[in-house]
Amino acid sequence: MRNHAGSIKLGSLQTTYLIIAAVVASLIIVQINVRIGSPVLSIVDRWLRWAGFALGAAMMCENFQWIDRPYWTLVALFFILWFLGETLYNWLAISALSLSPMPLFPKYVPNDSGEEWPTQPRLLKIRSWLREQGFHQAQALKAEVGGGIYLRVSVYENQEATTRIQITFLPQASGTIVVCYGFSSLTLDGRRIVTDNLYIPFGGFYPENWFVVRRPRNRSIKRLLSKHKARLAKSGELVAFKTEPAVDLNSVQHELEQLNTELGFLHPHNEREDHGKITQEGRYRVWKEIWMLNYLGKSARYY
């Protein structure tokens, strides 16, 4: 009996250390991520918080004898409760977005303020690398997403204008700026080849002539460019972009909105005041992509 009691006590002590380790690791990751804004670290932090909550809540119930069930049964229970709670939160956030005046496909305008590129050293290195690779800036853009908040974008292209890279700066609540990259090329037969690492949930549909590969966990612009070049090597002859980035992006935004309205991801414009912008099917697709991005670091499906 003493050995059995000692084993239980030792197991409880080990679990306590595991919970403390998860909490400490989460706090360290949060502090690091305030400076670098890595989506990959955010994924690790979410798993740590989820595991810490399930283990800690189950231990409290066992220690205070609130629920008379085996410890690991309680862990599973609180693991599911976290899932349900976050699902409710995400669903409410999606519904709020659907009903808000915030545009899902904002209009881009030239950014002439001179603040198109942040002055953080890690971001300035990216600009220097682009120049070394033969890319030059084609246009600086911005798009209002609501409340006077602007999304800043800088578009670069190679000398032949056959490949453009859209560099999107995403400001965080902590003040950190996360940068995402999207390479685009057009083929002679009318296809658009896109390789990006955006981790913003989309959940909608792309035109049939679009071939999109999304790699949210790949935060290296070098590796992403290598991936895009490998895809282009199998895509046939390329053609140069003929229009300015702002014209091209706004045309793309209009095409995406029209297509997703036709396919049932968005409500028709005359129904949006009563039902919101996103349909129930569309909300489910966005919810699914949020979970895939937040906990697995990939899109719900590769396009």
What is the pLDDT, as a whole number, of residue 12?
A: 64
Residues of the chain falling short of pLDDT 50:
1-11, 302-303
Measured distance CA(234)–CA(188) in Å, rounded: 13
Q: Give the Cα separation of 261 and 297 in Å (integer).
A: 27
Give Cα separations from 111 to 92, 114, 147, 154 (angstroms). Answer: 33, 7, 18, 9
- According to the model, what pLDDT value does residue 200 have? 86
What is the CA angle 297-299-301, rounded to 5? 140
pLDDT score at 173: 66
Count the helix, strand and coil residues of the chain and give each as a percent rounded to the nearest 5: 50, 20, 30
Q: What is the pLDDT of residues 209-257, one digit of tens each?
A: 999 999 999 989 999 999 999 999 999 999 999 999 999 999 999 999 9
CA 248 to chain centre: 23
For 153-184, how does the pLDDT look when each residue is reduced to its tens digit (9 = 90+)? 999 999 999 999 999 988 776 667 788 999 99
Residue 271: DSSP 8-state: G
Residue for token pair 């297509």: 259
Closest CA to 168 of 206, 111, 91: 111
Cβ atoms 19, 55 nearer than 8 A: yes
pLDDT, residue 146, reads: 75
Half-sphere exposure of 113 (CA within 13 A, CB side): 12
